[in-house]
Amino acid sequence: MTTIDHRGRDLAIIPNDAMLRLPTPELLQSLFGSRLPAGIRASIGRDKRHAFLRTQPIHFQAIKQALQAQGTPFSIAFEERPSLPFATNLQVEPRPYQHEALSNWLAGGSAGVVILPTGAGKTLVAAMSIHETKLWTLAVVPTLDLLQQWRTALSAALGVSADDIGIFGGGEKEVKPITIITYDSAALNPRELKRFGLLIFDECHHLPAPTYRLIAESAFTPLRLGLSATPERSDMAHLDLQQLIGPEVYRRAPADLTEGRYLAHYQEVPIDIALSEEEEARYAEQRRIYRAFLQKRHIIIRSPEDFQQKVIFMSARDPEARKAMLAWREARSIAMNAPAKYAEIERLLRLHAQDQVILFSEYNPVVDEISRRFCLPAITYKTPAGERRAILERFRAGAYSKLVSGRVLNEGVDVPDCRVAIIVSGNSTRREYIQRLGRVLRPKAGQAWLYELVTSDTTEEDIAKRRR
């Protein structure tokens, strides 16, 4: 009888003594025949110190199916579907699209990615999956802020005590039948993954990163739910989500959900910003320096990764590359931080004096300048956690009606709803744009607004056009 068990980080396949005397190729043929995909077969190695084969736990389901198909008797030494020791009861009536998302996920074998806009209730879909499967569940989240937010949300949605939901991260290591863990903690503690029958990945576009993908590879359970508003990555690694979690099973865009009033009706308003003659001349000169370097070296930039490898890395040892990199940075700064933007900010703040408004900038010095000029509370990566929480609570309570921030509020933070968002400067990624749009999308009476200040005749205009 062959046994499947855990050994450290790995999945162990333990044949009987007679089979273990066979050379590895013959042993694999005897166990699996031709039933196992070649890539998984190649991943299986023999442990020289002990009498078993080892591979990554993510291959558990395929190995089990191959043994069954080959007719090889086997047993499993761990619990495949550990049941929750308490009952759950959904306390919230799901919306039709949330029912559809769950149904599609279940129809796909309870493995796949659900894509919903920010504010559309992805956490409730997660709660529904826990309620449906009734399994020990590990929810993986990107930030420490989300640990308590998810605990509170799941407790309320499932009708269970918060004491039944563990927190793992930020100094806490409390494993319970439902546990919330950060990506960093899950990557550092892969042995904890063997306890759970369902994995949920919040903001699952983080998972294909080299360190984080080990989380998916170190877990045996095939029951996996990925959640994201914007799964696409510039390095195309989002294609790996099919292998790490499962295929895309459901997607809705913001516009799909405004028609049913599940999200606020919103208006996207690009606003052209003009450079002064002096700024135009400075911008043109810096772009000339940068383009001349690319032409001289026959360099083609097709992606951010190309720019990093062919310009930034070279700039550390090549004076011409460094000059080009600094020229690119200066031109970008001129475009994204044009002084005329401040006059437009003042106009928009007057127009929306009675509304809750969040302003976003790619550059923290610009965040600081907006905060100084208009006496607005600001949040950047430098803002202490306690101060950040206090600012967000005051914004939520209406004590502050305006707030300016950098990229730190893009995701992983429970940002209060507002009616107006102003992108003072952004980058080319659609993910960032949709995340900022999501800050105004929660249902509300009347119109929501997303303004984007775009400097004309610059790369910022090109970036905005490509993203749209």
pLDDT tens digits, one per residue of 295-351: 998 888 877 778 888 888 888 899 999 999 999 999 988 888 888 999 999 999 999
The arithmetic mean of pLDDT across residues 122-147, rounded, is 95
**42, 76, 110 — which closes off a domain?**
76
Say yes or no to pLDDT of 428 above 60: no
d(CA 87, CA 222): 23
Given a contact cutoff of 8 angstroms between Cβ atoms, the answer to whether 249 and 104 are in contact is yes
User: Are 113 and 226 found together in one domain?
Assistant: yes
**Within a domain: residue 72?**
yes
pLDDT of residue 415: 65
User: Are 62 and 149 found together in one domain?
Assistant: no
**Within a domain: residue 84?**
no
User: Are 151 and 108 found together in one domain?
Assistant: yes
**Within a domain: residue 400?**
yes
The rounded Cα 225 to chain-centroid distance in angstroms is 13
Q: Tokens at residue 244, please?
A: 């790490």
**Within a domain: residue 83?**
no
pLDDT of residue 17: 84
**Within a domain: residue 81?**
no
User: Are 365 and 422 found together in one domain?
Assistant: yes
**Within a domain: residue 18?**
yes
User: Are 132 and 27 found together in one domain?
Assistant: no
The percent of residues above 70 in pLDDT, for the chain, comes to 94
156 Cβ contact list (under 8 Å, min separation 6)? 91, 92
The percent of residues above 90 in pLDDT, for the chain, comes to 59
Return the DSSP state at 105: H
Given a contact cutoff of 8 angstroms between Cβ atoms, the answer to whether 179 and 166 are in contact is yes
User: Are 102 and 204 found together in one domain?
Assistant: yes
User: Are 281 and 240 found together in one domain?
Assistant: no
User: Are 292 and 390 found together in one domain?
Assistant: no
d(CA 229, CA 422): 20
**Within a domain: residue 86?**
no
d(CA 23, CA 327): 61
pLDDT of residue 227: 97
Strand order in the sheet with 198-201: 172-173, 165-169, 178-182, 137-141, 198-201, 224-228, 111-115, 248-251
User: Are 113 and 199 found together in one domain?
Assistant: yes
pTM equals: 0.82
Of the candidates 384, 366, 357, 347, the residue with the CA atom closest to the CA atom of residue 425: 366
Domain coverage including residue 391: 266-273+338-467
pLDDT for 398-425, tens place per residue? 899 999 988 766 555 556 678 888 988 8
Q: Tally the domains of the chain.
A: 4
User: Are 463 and 424 found together in one domain?
Assistant: yes
User: Are 199 and 313 found together in one domain?
Assistant: no
**310, 336, 362 — which closes off a domain?**
336
Of the candidates 210, 199, 255, 248, the residue with the CA atom closest to the CA atom of residue 228: 248
Say yes or no to pLDDT of 360 above 60: yes
**Within a domain: residue 82?**
no
pLDDT for 157-208, tens place per residue? 999 999 999 999 988 999 999 999 999 999 999 888 999 999 999 999 999 9
User: Are 459 and 369 found together in one domain?
Assistant: yes
Cβ count near 384 (within 10 Å): 8
Of the candidates 102, 90, 197, 105, the residue with the CA atom closest to the CA atom of residue 153: 90
